[in-house]
Amino acid sequence: MVAVQEEQHYSIPRGVLRIATLMAFAIWAPLLAVPPLESVLADKLGVSHALTSLLFTGPILMLALIAIPAGFLADRFGLRVTVGAGIIVVALGSALRGIASTYPVLLAFTMLYGAGLGLGFPNLPKLARHCGPRQRSHITVGIFTASILGAGAVVLLLTRQFIYPLTNSFRSVAFVWSIPAIAAAVLWWMFIREPPCQSAGVESVAFDLAALRKVVTHPDLWLVAVVFWLHNFFLYTFIGWMPEFLVSIGATPDLAGTIASTLFWLAIPAVLLLSQLSNRLGRRKPFLWFPGIVLGLCAVWALYVNVSTSWALMVIAGVATSVRFSTLLSVPVEIITPREAGSASGLVMSARQSSSR
């Protein structure tokens, strides 16, 4: 009975939540700065559009490769060290892109950034589960998802219209979007302890190979991984190529960035509200299959869309994509114990990210 009461009352400390929310923004901002500059990168570096797309998909590949080891490391050695190392590598890789003079060097630093993405991001759902009861972790993951959506909205809106024109250099964009990661790294190492949420009544627990075996043989986790993998065919194609697609149907580059950012703006309150609704209902499946139907219809709609109707397409696709994304992030850590949450999240993310290769 005591354990149940503690499960109901402890929650993630506000300081940890604020820093982790900033980290979610900072981890994804450098990647989301690539799509609005895709044509600029192709022109300045003298490479094909296929090679510039690797600057977007490359870090996702690194995330796929590193997610499982990253989850295991967090379960074995703790969140502070693993996530802290990840945000340092994110900051380093994204900042170093600002000194790259050739495509191979830029790609190398981009992959370094991707390694940090792989260390840090899979463990944010574990942090949510570690710092709160099962029924609250979905809401915390929703907050992290809203921060990621905020990164997409701000980066797509500001990069091409405001930041790039200041210096007419993609390197300046790389420096600017490394600043949030640098700030998050400093705050994480200054204020986060191990375990991060000891004040919430949760202690670090040992993790061994037997626990890892339990994760990799869990059938529900593999089912979630397959759904996540399928989800990414839409997610990364839609986000990665939408600015260029809008230009191809008549939008200016500035307008294309603004329209593409709409995908994220209304999705932010939608994720927060629907996470609360899902938690109240105690249901996750409707928030997986219904957005899937909507996204299928959006894929067909995209074949006939024009610039004026693309605003509506972005809003609907953004809400559906983000709600399903947030739900899929939280489900693995809800069906497994906090002890194995990092490895469970890593397993699902590794499988899902491989769809972007």
Q: What's 142's domain CATH number?
A: 1.20.1250.20
How far is the C-alpha of 38 from the C-alpha of 239, rounded, in Å?
12
- Per-residue pLDDT, 4: 36
Cis, peptide link before residue 195, omega less than 30° from 0: yes
- Per-residue pLDDT, 201: 43
- Per-residue pLDDT, 355: 47
How far is the C-alpha of 188 from the C-alpha of 87, rounded, in Å?
9
- Per-residue pLDDT, 215: 60
Provide the token pair at 28: 């994804």
- Per-residue pLDDT, 193: 87
Determine the Cα angle at 305 with ends 294 and 328, to 5°: 30
Provide the token pair at 281: 């209902």
How far is the C-alpha of 294 from the C-alpha of 317, rounded, in Å?
7
How far is the C-alpha of 192 from the C-alpha of 171, rounded, in Å?
31
How far is the C-alpha of 249 from the C-alpha of 229, rounded, in Å?
29
Determine the Cα angle at 232 with ends 229 and 235, to 5°: 165
- Low pLDDT (below 70) residues in the chain: 1-11, 134-135, 198-223, 229, 333, 335-357
- Per-residue pLDDT, 346: 53
Determine the Cα angle at 86 with ends 83 and 90, to 5°: 140
Q: Which of 39, 13, 2 is nearest to 244 (CA)?
A: 39
Judge whether 112 and 66 are in contact, CB under 8 Å: no
Element (H, E) at 330: helix 307-334
Question: What single letter denotes the amino acid at residue 187?
Answer: L
- Per-residue pLDDT, 222: 65
How far is the C-alpha of 248 from the C-alpha of 355, rounded, in Å?
25
- Per-residue pLDDT, 154: 94
Judge whether 255 and 246 are in contact, CB under 8 Å: yes
- Per-residue pLDDT, 196: 84
- Per-residue pLDDT, 95: 97
Structural domain total, the chain:
1
Domain hosting residue 93, numbered range: 2-356
How far is the C-alpha of 169 from the C-alpha of 39, rounded, in Å?
13
Angle, helices 341-353/209-216, rounded to nearest 10 degrees: 40
